[in-house]
């Protein structure tokens, strides 16, 4: 069986609790609001918490208050090797920088303004935290990850979460930049690229999860850095044109997969011992 009943319930509930907010939001944004934001948007702010709400509901149902406390404790697990803290903070930024170095946009490094990137980093990191990383990770990595690892190993856990995580964003495909990059139209190819990107990140986060003994805190940190890496790096450089943006995006996906395969193969050897 690909998924246990418990995991099936989790994914269905996570989707339902998010989509009940995001579908009306995207419809309103594209129609009545004419692609401008309204103060009514505050009503839709619970949407990213779908995975966490689903995890808490199912955990409380099966294990009561002690199980909920144990799940929440994963958000406070800060003890980890400094190298993995550096990985969570810097790996997504390094991947974007490397992709620029390989792409036709590499000449922009001659005009780099590092201070501009450092100046914007605190703002974008704090701004991103409540709109994905913090609301999601107790569900994906805190609840689903360990159960998938128990039932099928590191690759299954990563690929299942990668696919589920990707298509959980489906309504937001039609809100520019919330999932598929704003410089791409919503097409089968852009969805495929987004699936490849998110699944690679799921593989990297499985390696991080195993190396930090299940720390959701480190997953939140990595997720936050991933969501903001392009903004931080591109703030240091001249504005790229569309072709350069697409090149960097595609190359960053390839580099993420190469890194994910290396780290997950290493993690699998250790996990299977």
Buried b (16+ CB within 10 A) or exposed e, 157-168: bbbbbbebbbbb
Question: Across residues 30-53, what is the average pLDDT?
Answer: 86
Residue 23 tokens, joined: 């579908």
Each residue of 227-260: pLDDT tens digit?
Answer: 999 999 999 999 999 999 999 999 999 999 999 9
Residue 102 burial class via C-beta count within 10 angstroms: exposed 0-12, middle 13-18, buried 19 and up: middle
In this structure, what token pair is assigned to residue 113?
A: 């303004």
pLDDT of 2 reads 64
Could you tell me the CA-to-CA distances from 89 to 139, 224, 258 in Å, in that order?
21, 9, 19
CA distances from 140 to 15, 134, 247 (A): 12, 11, 29
Both structure tokens of 206: 């499985």
Domain boundaries, the chain: 78-272
Least confident stretch, 22-36, 96-110, 207-221 = 22-36
91: nearest Cα among 203, 226, 181: 226
DSSP H stretches of helix in 103-168: 114-128, 133-137, 145-168
pLDDT above 70 covers a percentage of the chain that reads: 98
State the angle between helix axes of 188-211 and 145-168 in degrees (0 to 180), rounded to the nearest 10.
Answer: 160
* Cβ pair 136, 53 in contact under 8 A: no
* DSSP, residue by residue, 164-187: HHHHHTGGGGGSTTSSS-TTS-S-
Give residue-wise pLDDT tens across range 137-189: 999 999 999 999 998 889 999 999 999 999 999 999 999 889 999 999 999 99
- Provide the pLDDT confidence category of residue 272 given band limits of 50, 70 and 90: low
The contacts of residue 239 (CB under 8 Å, 6+ apart) are none
77 backbone φψ class: left, alpha, beta (φ>0; ψ -120 to 50)? beta
Q: Is the pLDDT of residue 37 over 80?
A: no
CA dist 129 and 214 (Å) reads: 19
Continuous segment of H or E residues that includes residue 60: helix 50-73
| 165 touches 198 (CB < 8 A) | yes
What CA–CA distance (Å, rounded) separates 48 from 181? Answer: 18
């Amino acid at each position: 069986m690909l998924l246990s009943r418990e995991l099936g319930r989790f994914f269905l509930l996570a989707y339902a609790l998010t989509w009940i907010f995001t579908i009306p939001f995207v419809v309103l944004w594209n129609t009545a609001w004419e692609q401008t934001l309204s103060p009514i948007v505050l009503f839709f702010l619970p949407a990213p918490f779908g995975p966490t709400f689903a995890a808490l509901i199912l955990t409380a149902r099966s294990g009561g208050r002690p199980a909920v406390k144990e799940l929440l404790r994963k958000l406070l697990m800060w003890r980890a090797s400094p190298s993995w803290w550096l990985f969570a903070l810097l790996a997504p930024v390094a991947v974007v920088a490397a992709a620029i170095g390989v792409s036709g946009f590499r000449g922009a490094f001659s005009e780099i303004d590092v201070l501009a990137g450092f100046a914007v980093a605190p703002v974008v990191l704090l701004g991103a935290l409540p709109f994905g990383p913090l609301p999601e990770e107790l569900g994906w990595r805190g609840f689903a990850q360990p159960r998938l690892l128990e039932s099928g190993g590191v690759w299954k856990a990563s690929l299942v979460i990668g696919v589920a995580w990707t298509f959980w964003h489906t309504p937001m495909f039609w809100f520019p930049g919330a999932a598929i990059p704003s410089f791409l139209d919503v097409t089968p190819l852009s969805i495929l690229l987004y699936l490849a990107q998110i699944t690679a990140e799921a593989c990297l986060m499985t390696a991080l999860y195993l190396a930090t003994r299940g720390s959701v805190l480190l997953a939140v940190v990595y997720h936050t850095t991933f969501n903001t890496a392009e903004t931080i790096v591109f703030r240091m450089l001249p504005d790229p044109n569309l072709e350069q943006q697409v090149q960097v995006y595609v190359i960053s996906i390839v580099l993420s997969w190469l890194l994910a395969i290396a780290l997950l193969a290493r993690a699998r050897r250790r996990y299977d011992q």
